Amino acid sequence: MQAKQGIGGVLRGIALTLVLLFFLFPIVWVFLMSFQTNAQILRIPPSPFFTPTLENYTALISGRLETTSGVLDIAFMRNLMNSVILSASSVLLALILGVPAAYAFARFKFRLGENIAFTLLSFRFAPPLLVLLPLTLYFQALGLSDTYVGLIWVYQLICLPLILWIVRGYFEDISPDIEHAYRVDGHSWARTFWRIAIPLARPGIAAAALLAFIFAWNNFVFALILASADKQPVTVGALAFVTAAGIQYGQIAAAVVLSVTPTLLLALYAQRYLVQGLSMGAVKG
């Protein structure tokens, strides 16, 4: 019996190792590429052994990219800052609008409520190219073209439906009896929402905000069409590494590492709230 358990444990360990290698290999390989030159990356056969260099990161931070065709000015750090501004502002605005709306959809039944909720959700799945032409015309008429305000507004098509539907589910899982007990003491709906509902749904709000931040960070089409070079995020700014001298694979790998880092740190910070969300059964109705 113990021998069978030992063999089973070994097989599980081998299977887990193979799964980890399969999923982590692309990430590890990109990380290694970020410390190599183009010549080292393109050598045949490829090798994990090389002399590391920091010139890719130096080029990104200094904004000067040296190629065989000359020196190019790149604005990667400005693109990175644009991504932070656009993603953080979009998620913050979506939380301000979406969390009260999610509470209303979860607690109150009103005419056409489900239709309105599904209409908002459909914005998330609408092809971006379908709305770009009318948005471009409206933005030109309103003076919002190539502005942070205009882009943050457009990003609500990504963030608001996610937050609305995810947080709504968390509010529905919280027993209304807890809020009723608080209201018996004479507290208003607004105070109950702020003091009871929001703290209990905090793990769900954190998870929804993190997911919305990732989707906003990875957006490419809206920023490519509606923003000029000084407002474009890092996803569009990476196009600068496709030069007349060829594709700068080392700089692209370094840009991937730097652009993933803020999202990874945010995910690690929000991890405790995600874990708390798994234990919300104590307050389910």
pLDDT tens readout for residues 110-122: 777 777 777 777 7
Mean pLDDT of the region 178-199: 84
d(CA 85, CA 191): 31
**β-strand partners of 73:** 64
Cis peptide before 46 (omega within 30 of 0): no
How would you class 272 by CB atoms within 10 Å of its CB: exposed for 0-12, middle for 13-18, buried for 19 or more?
exposed
For the stretch 155-165, pLDDT in tens is 998 899 889 88
What pLDDT is stored for residue 2 in this prediction? 64
Residue 92: pLDDT band (50, 70, 90) is very high
H or E stretch including 66?
Answer: strand 64-67
Which two structure tokens, joined as six digits, stand for 101? 């709306």
Cβ 127 vs Cβ 135: under 8 Å: no
Residue partners of 193: CB distance under 8 A and separation at least 6: 100, 103
d(CA 158, CA 172): 22
Q: How far is CA 42 from CA 58, 155, 252, in A?
A: 20, 37, 14
For the stretch 120-163, pLDDT in tens is 777 777 777 777 888 888 888 888 888 899 899 989 988 998 89
Q: What is the pTM of this model?
A: 0.82
Residue partners of 281: CB distance under 8 A and separation at least 6: none
Is residue 73 helix, strand or coil?
A: strand
At residue 169, what is the residue type?
Answer: G
Cβ 249 vs Cβ 238: under 8 Å: no
d(CA 206, CA 162): 12
Residue 285: pLDDT band (50, 70, 90) is very low
Mean pLDDT of the region 75-102: 92
Query: Quick one: DSSP state of residue 176?
Result: H
d(CA 185, CA 194): 15
Q: Is the dihedral of CA 260, 266, 269, 273 positive or negative?
A: negative
Q: What radius of gyration, in Å, describes the C-alpha atoms of the chain?
A: 24
How would you class 93 by CB atoms within 10 Å of its CB: exposed for 0-12, middle for 13-18, buried for 19 or more?
middle
d(CA 79, CA 238): 9
d(CA 85, CA 269): 19
At residue 256, what is the residue type?
Answer: V
At residue 148, what is the residue type?
Answer: Y
Share of the chain above pLDDT 70, in %: 93
d(CA 163, CA 210): 10
Query: Quick one: DSSP state of residue 126?
Result: S
